[in-house]
Structure 1
Amino acid sequence: MNGVLNIAAVGLLILVTLVLGYRGSRISRTTSDFFVASRSVPPLGNAAAISGEYLSAGTFLGLAGAVLLVGADGFWFPIGYAAGYLLVLLFVGAPLRRSGAYTIPDFIQARVGSRTARHLTSVVVVVIGWLYIVPQLHGAAITMNVVAGLPLWVGAIVVALVVGGAVAAGGMRAITAVQAFQYWVKLTALLVPVVLLIIVLIGDDVRVDPQLVFPPERGPAGTGLYTTLSLMLALLLGTIGLPHVLVRFYTSPDGGSARRATVLVIVLISAFYAVSSTMGLIARVAAPDLAESGTADTVVLTLPSRLLPGIWGDLVTALVVAGAFAAFLATSSGLVVSLAGVVSQDLFGGTVRSFRLAAMLCALVPLAFSFLTVPDGLVSSVGLVFVFAASSLSPVIVLSVWWRRLTARGAIAGMAVGAALCGGALIASAVITAPGWWTPLLAQPAAWTIPLATAAVVVVSLIDPRGPHPRSARYVARLHQPEV
């Protein structure tokens, strides 16, 4: 019975997703519709859509699992994720909208006047996107395996096909409504179980041991000062380098709307993080054995049936499963639509037909990678994407907005140095198993890769004999010119 309800919940969610996508596809005709929803998305709708795509498998499943495993340590992830939007609000949100670009490579090319810089940006954006999509597919595979006993490949294939088809059919205009709807599904899918589980625990008069929920040896001191600071730096700056987040600002009517949408995003994702973290705390009290069994990422799926009897536990579990699939679909949709715009413009000419072809490619290639990789801790997998984005793309984007002396060679050097150092460190961390002083430096490299990438941008720009592009001063002024 439980498996049937779970599959029915997923089927209903997919049906609503396809209906909303179909309605959006009927009004998606132009290139602007497919790439940036004709720059017509109001702040609240955009905020819900951004929140829908930002709250991924790593958040829906992995955050509660991280809190279950390490207690207070796990709270650094939601703090960094939410605070990252403050930096987006302060430094890049409105200027990116005023740039008039469709994609991040568009923006970089217009800023520095170099097709080489554009192509490198496109490569980095695609790598970040694919690295982010793979954990979503892993999460879908785990979910369908746990709640319905289906093979791991089933959930991944379902998400890839639904996302690729929906994005190809209607582009950004269609996906915006879908992602906004899926945010509210995700919030409801965790809020209802949390409220019911708290009521059950209060009724059972369960005593909460603070030493269990927040062990004194955990928290900032438990992981080491360097690791904590490096992680926070990656999460804060990584948001600025996520292509599916940045492209959303191009859909706002103007810079002011982009700023208002960002403020609303902070409110919406903070509410979700509070609920998701609470689920992890409940698990530490009511089901600590899940941490020992190595299935922490499945805690939100298994906890309701443990504490709620009979059909009520089955119904709540089905709701959680629907929320989990909403997370996989929403984040994957945002990533695929942002990558499709880049691939379409750089490889296929930037037409509506090429966008549709690129959308299917950008969904199917990560699917192949997901079959070749083993699902790991979801929140840590997503955290690695933030590290790579913060090292390779964020310094160039921030300096593009705020530093007039940036040159094309400086931008290229910064992206190349950041990507090479960060990628090399993460690979070395996986290969070198012997512990030593280098272990935290390789596992959390943001504290040194971001400064070195930034230094590469600045130094190469300053010594570049060509200097900034002749239109750079005028273009930067446009980024900061308030709307009238």
Structure 2
Amino acid sequence: MQLNPWALVGVGLVTAAASYLGRRTSQFARPTDDFLVARRMVRSRRNASAISGEYLCAASVLGVSGLVLKDGADALWYPIGFTAGFLALGVFVAAPLRRSGAYTIPDFVEARLGSAGLRRTSTCFVLALGLVYLVPQLQGVNLALTAIAPGAEAWWGPVAVIVLLVVNIVWGGMRAATLVQAFHHWIKLFALAIPAFFLCAVFLGSGGSGATGGLGDEAPPEFTEETTVTVRTDVVLHVGEPTTVHALDREPAGPRLWSPGVDYPVREGERLLFPAASDVPVVSDAATDNASWLRPTEDGDEVWWTYSVIVATFLGTMGLPHVLARFYTNPDGRAARRTTVQVLLLVGLFYLFPILLGALSRLYVPELLVTGETDAAVLRVPTAMLPGVAGQLVVAVLAAGAFTAFVSTSSGLLVSVAGMVATDLLWNRTRDFAIAVVVVAGVATAGAVVLPLDDLVHTVGLAFALAASTFCPLLLLGIWWRRLTWVGALLGMLVGGLGVLTAIGFHVASRLTGMDVPWFVTQPALLTVPAALLTTVIVSLATARRVPGDVDVVMLQLHAPDHLGFMRDGSTRSRSGGALDADASGRHRSL
């Protein structure tokens, strides 16, 4: 790999443009409402672009293509679930949540159930979810920079990005973030769409087959010429058919015959030489041949894991704090629902292109199946298809899109999590918002540097599992079931949230030690979401006397049509328990 100066220029231009937009918008941001909910004046089309901008993260731009390269048909459930999650959000949550008038999830929890203890618990889980989601974004920064600037230190990319984000967010808060994230969405869309169309044209012009043959060939992909691969992280490799491999850094020297069904561990830094026409080995959890790559898995554990992914992605979207915070910025419930429909269109369109790039990657960069760096497929396939300056220019466009994914999602997460901390735990709202941004960003950056790198989509999938197991049951039952009690909500959140956090702990340990773990550790949502729902319902029924006395008034506020005037725009609660509310003229008064 060589330094790609065009990619660095592309990243620099996107960074400069985003910083300029954030700075210009921040000049008009003064009240607390600007920092937290952009004065609730963001219209549906801009808000849909902003939601898409911060929702389409590193896992969407790099991780989906990497999973398609590795797993084929089984990987398609991720983009399907990421998109379909907005359908459930729009049907069940978007409009009532906006009518609640809350700034944050803890605001909604206390307004609905009247429990300060439940509010503090939800605050802890918002923080945990934000950190789990932020870490893979910052690790994706390092992955992208390594692909375009080999030899770069592992820490400086995440640190540079987080400093940029903190400065932009502290200047302008939500109002600046809205315009920047809308800008980022369109940059990401065109940065993937244009190269995808161009590379597909090159592929069709070459006769519809890549360097390793065609995807319709049932045999494993092959190296068409003698190839040396340097493994950059510890991996375990499998082969689908007997394959001759030269381990250049092991004694005794000479060829070795690898057999199907055997684990072959390879350490970081080792070099493997593959003769021409030899089959491509794959990392242990990848499809070994194109026939299995094209078909969904039929293995029992893999099927259960797939169902767990479906549950996490379908239901997790409605529990993501940085997505829900966007609906507080709409003028009313109708605009919130209209925003969700537009997001469905934007996100569904976007995911077509990572899938195409992942399929092309299997044809042109099969060596990534050996090294385990499948998340870098988007940034490697252009130069494999187009050697020279043309390929570098395509990489530059894709790198700019990937970088905007890191920045926009991380920005949205920092704004929502820091806004919650400043609102619920601190005193001076504007100053404490800045302090919260710095603290959360610092912890996430340390985690990104210290923790081992996993597939970006798998890590983000754990964040979705945490959201689906905590806030999804709380929001669904809180909005649609009047018999919910704070005791049931609290215990359900603890059962689901602690279950997922325990699985995350075992997952990290498995990455550090190399031990095998069952499927429900890598994706526990199929177990934790039903457990959280059942616990919430059963305990609520057992504590029926604790149903809030004002439940009928609150439910009317959540579900009454906007034009009837029941919607209230509450603001952040003060330390003394009061809140700010807006009267018809837009002035704020203390309740």
AA at the equivalent of 2:527: W
Give the match for residue 382 of structure 1.
460
* Contact 2:365–2:380 (8 Å) recurs in 1: no
1:311-367, Cα deviation, whole Å (9 max, x unpaired): 221111111111111000000000000011111012212622221221222222211
Aligned equivalents of 1:331 and 1:467: distance in 2?
38
SS at match of 1:183: helix
Aligned equivalents of 2:561 and 2:6: distance in 1?
52
In the alignment, structure 1 residue 176 sits paired with structure 2 residue 253:
no
Give the match for residue 158 of structure 1.
160
AA at the equivalent of 2:331: P
Higher relative contact order (CA 8 A, sep 6+): 1
Moved more, 135-144 or 463-472: 463-472
AA at the equivalent of 1:182: H
Deviation of 1:81 after TM superposition, in Å, equals 0.5
Deviation of 1:293 after TM superposition, in Å, equals 2.3
AA at the equivalent of 2:215: D
In the superposition, relative to structure 1, how do residues 349 and 77 fare at CA in structure 2: closer, same or farther (>3 Å)? same
In the alignment, structure 1 residue 346 sits paired with structure 2 residue 352:
no
Aligned equivalents of 1:244 and 1:21: distance in 2?
18
Give the match for residue 264 of structure 1.
342
Give the match for residue 209 of structure 1.
215
AA at the equivalent of 1:202: L
AA at the equivalent of 1:105: P
AA at the equivalent of 1:130: L
Moved more, 116-125 or 151-160: 151-160
In the alignment, structure 1 residue 471 sits paired with structure 2 residue 473:
no
Higher helix share goes to which structure?
Answer: 1
Give the match for residue 460 of structure 1.
539
Deviation of 1:3 after TM superposition, in Å, equals 2.8
Aligned equivalents of 2:391 and 2:515: distance in 1?
44
Give the match for residue 84 of structure 1.
85
1:74-111, Cα deviation, whole Å (9 max, x unpaired): 10100110011100011000111000001111110111
Moved more, 371-380 or 459-468: 459-468
SS at match of 1:27: coil
Deviation of 1:217 after TM superposition, in Å, equals 7.2
In the alignment, structure 1 residue 311 sits paired with structure 2 residue 389:
yes
Aligned equivalents of 2:194 and 2:321: distance in 1?
32
Which of the two has higher C-alpha Rg?
2
Deviation of 1:381 after TM superposition, in Å, equals 0.7
Q: With structure 1 as the length reference, what TM-score do the two structures score?
A: 0.96
Give the match for residue 447 of structure 1.
526
Give the match for residue 200 of structure 1.
202
In the alignment, structure 1 residue 396 sits paired with structure 2 residue 474:
yes
SS at match of 2:129: helix
AA at the equivalent of 1:416: L
In the alignment, structure 1 residue 116 sits paired with structure 2 residue 117:
yes
Alignment of 1:329-340 (within 5 A): 329-340=407-418
Alignment of 1:234-273 (within 5 A): 234-273=312-351
1:241-268, Cα deviation, whole Å (9 max, x unpaired): 1100111100111111111110010111
In the alignment, structure 1 residue 221 sits paired with structure 2 residue 298:
yes
1:179-227, Cα deviation, whole Å (9 max, x unpaired): 0110111111111111111111111113333246663674152563322
* Contact 1:186–1:323 (8 Å) recurs in 2: yes
Deviation of 1:132 after TM superposition, in Å, equals 0.4
Aligned equivalents of 2:295 and 2:417: distance in 1?
38
Aligned equivalents of 1:271 and 1:12: distance in 2?
25
Aligned equivalents of 1:451 and 1:230: distance in 2?
11
AA at the equivalent of 1:459: I
Aligned equivalents of 2:507 and 2:104: distance in 1?
32
AA at the equivalent of 1:444: Q
Aligned equivalents of 1:216 and 1:19: distance in 2?
44
Task: Give the aligned length.
Answer: 482
Deviation of 1:155 after TM superposition, in Å, equals 1.2
Aligned equivalents of 1:41 and 1:157: distance in 2?
31
In the superposition, relative to structure 1, how do residues 148 and 431 fare at CA in structure 2: closer, same or farther (>3 Å)? closer
Aligned equivalents of 1:256 and 1:483: distance in 2?
7
* Contact 1:22–1:170 (8 Å) recurs in 2: yes
* Contact 2:309–2:525 (8 Å) recurs in 1: yes
Aligned equivalents of 1:285 and 1:49: distance in 2?
34
Deviation of 1:41 after TM superposition, in Å, equals 0.7
Give the match for residue 4 of structure 2.
3
* Contact 1:401–1:476 (8 Å) recurs in 2: yes
Give the match for residue 54 of structure 1.
55
SS at match of 2:331: coil
In the alignment, structure 1 residue 421 sits paired with structure 2 residue 499:
yes
Unaligned runs of 5+ in 1: none
Deviation of 1:235 after TM superposition, in Å, equals 0.8
Aligned equivalents of 2:164 and 2:515: distance in 1?
42
Q: CA RMSD of the aligned region, Å?
A: 1.7
AA at the equivalent of 2:64: L
* Contact 2:507–2:522 (8 Å) recurs in 1: yes
Give the match for residue 322 of structure 1.
400
Moved more, 264-273 or 5-14: 5-14
Aligned equivalents of 1:465 and 1:73: distance in 2?
43
Moved more, 391-400 or 166-175: 391-400
Deviation of 1:174 after TM superposition, in Å, equals 0.3
SS at match of 1:215: helix
Unaligned runs of 5+ in 2: 219-288, 564-591
SS at match of 1:205: coil
Alignment of 1:269-308 (within 5 A): 269-308=347-386
Aligned equivalents of 1:467 and 1:319: distance in 2?
56
Aligned equivalents of 1:214 and 1:35: distance in 2?
50
* Contact 1:341–1:350 (8 Å) recurs in 2: no
Deviation of 1:2 after TM superposition, in Å, equals 4.9
Deviation of 1:374 after TM superposition, in Å, equals 1.6
In the superposition, relative to structure 1, how do residues 220 and 45 fare at CA in structure 2: closer, same or farther (>3 Å)? farther
SS at match of 1:162: helix
Give the match for residue 104 of structure 2.
103
SS at match of 1:469: coil
In the superposition, relative to structure 1, how do residues 371 and 224 fare at CA in structure 2: closer, same or farther (>3 Å)? closer
Aligned equivalents of 1:431 and 1:309: distance in 2?
40
Aligned equivalents of 1:204 and 1:409: distance in 2?
64
* Contact 2:312–2:464 (8 Å) recurs in 1: yes
Aligned equivalents of 2:118 and 2:201: distance in 1?
56
In the superposition, relative to structure 1, how do residues 314 and 430 fare at CA in structure 2: closer, same or farther (>3 Å)? closer
In the superposition, relative to structure 1, how do residues 28 and 427 fare at CA in structure 2: closer, same or farther (>3 Å)? same
Deviation of 1:47 after TM superposition, in Å, equals 0.6
